[in-house]
Structure 1
């Protein structure tokens, strides 16, 4: 029995990056031997065990054989005769196919160290094409590692996989999992650029793909292209460390512009309502979590109104608060403003522009929350008028603010 550290931990260590989780592969062992040594079996599809003390994962060396489309269509063979090199050969990229012995020696049969030095993601073997999740992983890695490129032959293989329909067999939960992880990296736009380059974006998120090439008024959008704008918006949200719901809202706020008839370009009247419909459809298809879906919907609907907040009447501001449930969910309203400031600053030359709408709306919400609700209730004789009187007092409180 031999134990080797493998995967991302070795890659990140060689890059001088912090190592979070360590995985190990065990060569020459049977499941019975692992259990006898106190390891806890957890793998369903192949033998994976938790260390009795550290709870780190130890997997038996294995090979895989493709039997059906999609990322689950594999037969796994784990046997004491499977070598380390055979196990490493089934991995996605050469930089992830480096192993390390217990004494610290590196085992690098597929030249991953050379590709690390060159900052290149290159597939280990043609078996890469058997698992469409690897397209998503490649895109996510590009969002994380800003200095890396994808080897031309690997990009070519990814295009072939898309053309063969492999990505069409991905389950929604796995697609969302990889997209969410990529959105939380430092440069999310690189993930979408990679998916678009290989053709996968049109299959996975056609609502995003169709934004590229759609023009906007240049006096408001120097970048002109809606797709480029959305990428700048989501990258700004990432640069500020905003939450996943904010980043997803930043990504999807302008989906309706992709359905504007070309005869109406570069204007996009009514795109907010169309965006809401498309966001809801996208979230159902990818089974997006409720917190991300809900924020994305209100950002799509109200980002234009929020940009114009200082020109709105107090009654209109109250309607926005009510529609976005701001009184009960002030933290989500703050996230809505974060998505809107990302939209405003996701344009060339606007990266540091002041965004007074956010401060004004926060002040307006605070003023509306501080009215004497108890006094209004006590002074209102007719119960059915309590809500109307509270609303009127909130409108007055906002009206007293300096616009």
Structure 2
């Protein structure tokens, strides 16, 4: 399926794909690119051009507001996770392990704002390992509680002037759902508003709720719901809603929270699959409320991408021309990719991407039009190449 047909079916990011992507720390595999959106864990992807004339009062606008008319191109994606040499890593990539009161915590790779921190737990050594040189590095830094979250599970570690969420590495499941609610203060740290609905194994759309208080009120009546260990449990043969969940305090991004019509909840927020049986009545209350009050919407993309050819590297910018994507290649647009982030500059300095290379840029911000089409918050590049009717990302 290509072009408009695929766009109609896959306009939104299915959180079920995100679950698989988040199962492997430090890597985002199998990229889905469409309208500049990336949904993890799809093997083939389509880049579809859009033609809009939207305006914004700010010079920073979403890519969708730029007037682009792209070809329907299939992009075969591969993982862009790279084990960079020590000197090309960010500090949060370098230092990933801390021991606290006999427990080992590992980085979730996500920052947390200082406003969400609790009391200091003291200063502790944080360890990193240089695989290339087989050498261990260590620094001593401050460690903090995260407000409302038990430090037995999550802590915040200060690295430079940022704070990062670290998770207890031990696999210790809760006895029941109430323990999970309390230990992580889920009513304060989690939002259950964006969801997809599936009935008879068919996607019925993507929706958003204005308020999730009722959902948590129902979940709070399920405190005695027992944890279920079932490696063969699957959601594909059930009717369900699945929430896309992001929590700065918990250090998770676009994970999933299922509520199935036959009375189960399942989530990967804690890296492992946590399943609880809350009963059909509670599940029906949640699903009915969501269906009644959900407003159909567009999905939040997992990430954004821009494809093009590097035409120049100068003035601390990479210049990217997107003509290879255009229906009329004479209508290409030039974009600037700032190299002040080591995650971008290392692609030039170490991965040796250069002028003439076709690349995909991954970014989480907008495009600053007045500054010369500067791509905001770019965080990775993948080398690509043009094939017959598509673009491929090499292994």
TM-score interval, smaller chain:
under 0.3
Which entry has the higher C-alpha Rg, 1 or 2? 1
Choose between structure 1 and 2: higher helix proportion: 1
Higher relative contact order (CA 8 A, sep 6+): 2
Name the structure where strand makes up a greater proportion of residues: 2
Q: Please, what TM-score do these two structures have when normalized by structure 2?
A: 0.23
TM-score normalized with structure 1 length: 0.22
